[in-house]
A and B are shown apart, each in its own frame.
Chain A
Amino acid sequence: MSFYLRRVAFYLVTFWAAISLNFLLPRLLPGDPAAIMLGKLRRASGGRPLSEETVQAITSILGAGRDMSLWDQYVAYWGRLLQGDLGVSSTRYPAPVADLISAALPWTIFLVGTATVISFLLGIIVGAWVGWRRGTRLDHLVPITTVFQSIPYFWLALVLVAVFAVQLGWFPIVGGYDVFEFPAGPEWSWAFLGSAIYHAILPATTIVLSSVGGWLLGMRNMMVSTMSEDYVVTAEAKGLTSRRTLTRYAARNAAIPSLAGFGIALGFVVAGSIVMEQVFSYPGLGKLMIQAVQGLDYALMQGVFLVITLTVLVANFIMDLIYGFIDPRVRHNG
Chain B
Amino acid sequence: MSRAGRANGIDRTGIPVEAGVTGIDPSRRGEPVLTARDVSIEYEVEPPVKAVRGASITLHRGELLGLAGESGCGKTTLAYGLNRLLKAPALMTGGEVVFHDASGRDIDVVGLDGEALRTFRWSKVSMVFQGSMNSLNPVMSVRKQLHDVFTTHRPGMRRAEREARSAELLSLVGVDPARLSSFPHELSGGMRQRVMIAMALALDPQVMIMDEPTTALDVVVQRGIIREIMRLRERLGFAVVFITHDLPLLIEISDRIAIMLEGRIVEQGTAEEIYRTPSHEYTKRLLSSFPSLRGDRGDFIRTGVGSGAVEGGAA
Contact = CB atoms under 8 A, between A and B. Distances in A.
Contacts of B138: 231, 253, 328-329
Contact of B129 (A230, A239, A326, A328): A230
Interface string A227-266: 0011101111111111010001100110010000000000
Nearest to A326: B139
A238 B199 contact: yes
> Which of under 10, 10 to 19, 20 to 34, or 35 or more describes the interface residues of B?
20 to 34
A248 B148 contact: yes
A152 interface: no
Interface stretch (B10-18, B120-128, B247-255, B267-275): B120-128
Contact of B148 (A244, A253, A256, A326): A244
Interface string B135-150: 1111111000000110
B137 A231 contact: yes
25 contacts: A135-B88, A230-B134, A231-B135, A231-B138, A233-B85, A234-B196, A235-B148, A236-B85, A237-B85, A237-B122, A238-B199, A239-B119, A239-B121, A239-B122, A240-B118, A241-B152, A248-B140, A252-B139, A253-B137, A253-B138, A326-B139, A328-B139, A329-B138, A329-B183, A329-B185
Contacts of B139: 252-253, 256, 326-329
A327 B141 CA distance: 11
Contact of A239 (B130, B153, B185): B153
A234 B213 CA distance: 13
Contacts of B121: 236-239
B131 interface: yes
Q: Is the interface of A mostly helix, strand, loop or mixed?
A: helix
B88 A328 contact: no
B83 interface: yes
Interface residues of A, number: 25
Given A238-B148, A239-B153, A244-B148, A328 B126 contact: no
Contacts of A135: 88
A328 B183 contact: yes
Nearest to B149: A238
A233 B129 contact: yes
Contact of A237 (B88, B126, B137, B186): B126
B31 to A, nearest CB: 25
A240 B147 CA distance: 11
A259 B127 CA distance: 33
Contacts of B149: 238-240
B127 A239 contact: no
A240 B149 CA distance: 7
Given A234-B129, A249-B140, 8 more contacts: A230-B129, A231-B134, A234-B127, A234-B137, A237-B129, A244-B148, A252-B139, A329-B139
A234 B152 contact: no
A328 B255 CA distance: 42
Nearest to A252: B139
B88 A238 contact: no
A61 B119 CA distance: 70
Interface string B90-132: 0000000000000000000000000000111111001101110
B152 A240 contact: yes
B183 A237 contact: no
Contacts of A329: 138-139, 183, 185
B135 A244 contact: no
B136 A231 contact: yes
A230 B199 contact: no
Contacts of A252: 139
Contacts of A244: 148, 152
